Structure 1
Amino acid sequence: MTGTAQQDTEREDVQGGVGLTALLVAAARAIETHRADSLAQDAYAEHFVRAAPACAKWPLRAEQVPDGDADPLWGRFARYFGLRTRALDDFVHRSVRETGARQAVLLGAGLDTRAFRLDWPDGCAVFEIDRPGVLDFKHRVLAGLAATPRAARVPVPVDLRDDWAGALTGAGFDTAAPSVWLAEGLLFYLPPAAETHLIDTVDRMTPAGGALAFEAKLEKDLLVHRDSPLYVATRLRTGIDLLALFDRRPRPDSAGALSARGWSTAVHTPFDFTRLHGRGPMPEGNDALEGNRWVFAHKPRP
């Protein structure tokens, strides 16, 4: 690949389109990390943002946000991402402990650093599936920090529109062993048929004892909140038009599909976790977070 072609691929995958949302979440995690009342710690997050010219003016500390939590983007939305990180960190810890799983799969891993941040039992492998440009960018930044993973980290460079299941097993994933799966901030970017295929594939590749967490949006019409402060601020101040990136066709009931196949599922609003932890976003008028749900599913043993 020529230097120019490589730059174009990186820009497409990391500093543009859906890839740019991974940097948005990284900035939010950086802000969360440095809060006095932090919900989640990610010491690597700010380094991703600093490495991307497109994000040069984004804040990385709460004190760089003049309006604090009242800021719809770097306050409320950023805290949402911090809360989501904490909820999924806890899910992974709990699921690995309770199921004995020694392999985890991050679907659309983006700039997720759980392989480096979390305390994993001995013998765990963390498979990170995402486009090559995203994983290459992450590798370069982490290598520059001499970061050491706390589990066997296995990058799987493949687009989720391609044969990611084949790439995953080719990378050493064992379909006969218990596994924990995360699809964080992913499904609503996919066409409905692709979401159904992904959920079907996870079910097929997960034996009894496995677990899956994913995020869903329930609004029948996402454009009902198109003028919400959260969407408007994100578009004007970062150039990320989330509604243009989301697939706005009717979503499948993935939680219901898993329940019909014998999985136990729990569906929560983010606000449930705000109340649990005593901090985080609460409902407001014209709320772009109104339809967000976090689904935690387990495939019981016989």
Structure 2
Amino acid sequence: MADTAPQHTDAGGVDGGVGLTALLVAAARAIESHRPDSLAQDTYAEHFVRASPACADWPVRIEQAPGGDSNPLWGRFARYFGMRTRALDDFLVRSVGAGARQVVLLGAGLDTRAFRLDLPSDCVVFEIDRAGVLAFKREVLTDLSAAPRAKRVPVPVDLRADWAGALTAVGFDPDAPSVWLAEGLLFYLPGPVETYLIDTVDRLTTAGSALAFEAKLEKDLLAYRDSPIYAATREQIGIDLLRLFDKGPRPDSAGVLTARGWSTSMYTPFDFTRRYRRGPLPESNDALEGNRWVFALKPGP
């Protein structure tokens, strides 16, 4: 098991590269929030979008998107992000209900779960991301006079650096149950960094802890370069996701956790479409078909 992370420092914000994808997800959450059949409510999301010049003309309601729900980006892909938000919301709330009082958001981006979920007052939410991303979020939320419902602790550190040390330095207790989310994160990281991350979560967690993350199973990501959602994302907002995803081999993180005694479950997004009775359905040349949502629990001795 690795004890040290690759060293890297990066204070980048949300105006380019992977940081810009945080605004994409925020716009999707804003659109989802305004739907009459919304799966997740995030009243802060549209304020992030409007605060950044990089996306000032992006839609925050489906009526503002060209073609509405038929738009592959703002219709289908945004629905996917909205459904993913709901699935992870439900997982987090269940985990807290089972006794976890520490929440760790890995690559937190513009996540507002500390503000919008009904969390116990003795719950602590640790948000790990680059300093520039957390600074942008702080500025927007301060302007809105937003108050978190639980204690919120920003942890400004790149996940390619010693984030474990930074996390424990601000009060995270490895001996108390915790719940971790890595939402839309791992496929941007090189395989060895993902391995370090999973090793570290395993090392920093005790019985009763939980982890949810999103993985990709494709052997060749570029096979989906011309899929509607990737093409629409490139053409409409200039984000080439396939250039941002790491192209190296992916570790079997779910298998690693299972081998270490975690109880793991893996689902396709379409399983949740059926569960919630709304969301994306499979289609041809579908960039979502290789996506998997993994939920893992660390049982007691």
Range into which the TM-score falls when normalised by the shorter chain? over 0.9
- After superposition, what is the alpha-carbon deviation per residue over 1:254-284, rounded to whole angstroms, capped at 9, x for unaligned? 0000000000000000000000011000000
* Separation in structure 2 between the aligned mates of residue 13 and residue 245 of structure 1, nearest angstrom: 15
Instruction: Give the secondary structure class of the aligned counterpart of 1:104.
Output: strand
Q: Look up the match of 2:4.
A: none
Is contact 1:107–1:181 with CA below 8 Å preserved after alignment?
A: yes
Equivalence map 1:102-113=2 (5 Å): 102-113=101-112
Q: Look up the match of 1:94.
A: 94
Instruction: Give the secondary structure class of the aligned counterpart of 1:13.
Output: coil
- After superposition, what is the alpha-carbon deviation per residue over 1:114-146, rounded to whole angstroms, capped at 9, x for unaligned? 000101113100000000000000000000000
Amino acid at match of 1:223: L
Cα offset, 1:70, TM superposition: 1.6
Amino acid at match of 1:279: R
Q: Look up the match of 1:228.
A: 227
Q: Look up the match of 1:47.
A: 47
Is contact 2:190–2:248 with CA below 8 Å preserved after alignment?
A: yes
Structure 2 portions without partners, runs of 5+: 1-8
- Following TM superposition, the consecutive aligned residue runs of length 4 or more in structure 1 with deviations greater than 3 angstroms are 9-12
* Separation in structure 2 between the aligned mates of residue 290 and residue 101 of structure 1, nearest angstrom: 32
Is contact 2:12–2:131 with CA below 8 Å preserved after alignment?
A: no
Q: Look up the match of 1:27.
A: 27
Q: Look up the match of 1:297.
A: 296
Cα offset, 1:10, TM superposition: 11
Is contact 1:119–1:150 with CA below 8 Å preserved after alignment?
A: yes
Equivalence map 1:209-220=2 (5 Å): 209-220=208-219
* Separation in structure 1 between the aligned mates of residue 34 and residue 178 of structure 2, nearest angstrom: 32
TM-score normalised according to structure 1 size: 0.95
The range that moved more, 66-75 or 218-227, is: 66-75
Equivalence map 1:242-257=2 (5 Å): 242-257=241-256
Cα offset, 1:65, TM superposition: 2.1
* Separation in structure 2 between the aligned mates of residue 12 and residue 167 of structure 1, nearest angstrom: 18
- After superposition, what is the alpha-carbon deviation per residue over 1:138-165, rounded to whole angstroms, capped at 9, x for unaligned? 0000000000000000000000111000
Matched, 1:239 2:238: yes
Structure 1 portions without partners, runs of 5+: 1-8
Instruction: Give the secondary structure class of the aligned counterpart of 1:133.
Output: helix
Is contact 1:263–1:298 with CA below 8 Å preserved after alignment?
A: yes
Is contact 1:10–1:134 with CA below 8 Å preserved after alignment?
A: no
TM-score normalised according to structure 2 size: 0.96
Cα offset, 1:19, TM superposition: 0.1
Greater helix proportion: 1
- After superposition, what is the alpha-carbon deviation per residue over 1:46-100, rounded to whole angstroms, capped at 9, x for unaligned? 00000000101100011112422221000000000000000000000111112x0
Is contact 1:14–1:137 with CA below 8 Å preserved after alignment?
A: yes
Is contact 1:73–1:230 with CA below 8 Å preserved after alignment?
A: yes
Q: Look up the match of 2:261.
A: 262
Higher relative contact order (CA 8 A, sep 6+): 2
Equivalence map 1:51-90=2 (5 Å): 51-90=51-90
Q: Look up the match of 2:18.
A: 18
Instruction: Give the secondary structure class of the aligned counterpart of 1:153.
Output: strand
Q: Look up the match of 1:6.
A: none
Equivalence map 1:164-183=2 (5 Å): 164-183=163-182
* Separation in structure 2 between the aligned mates of residue 247 and residue 289 of structure 1, nearest angstrom: 17
Is contact 1:10–1:137 with CA below 8 Å preserved after alignment?
A: no
Q: Look up the match of 1:136.
A: 135
Cα offset, 1:12, TM superposition: 4.1
* Separation in structure 2 between the aligned mates of residue 183 and residue 85 of structure 1, nearest angstrom: 11
- After superposition, what is the alpha-carbon deviation per residue over 1:183-227, rounded to whole angstroms, capped at 9, x for unaligned? 000000000000000000000000011000000000000011000
Q: Look up the match of 2:207.
A: 208
Is contact 1:25–1:81 with CA below 8 Å preserved after alignment?
A: yes
Cα offset, 1:18, TM superposition: 0.1
Amino acid at match of 1:297: A
Matched, 1:151 2:153: no
The range that moved more, 64-73 or 177-186, is: 64-73
Count residues in correspondence: 293
Amino acid at match of 1:114: R
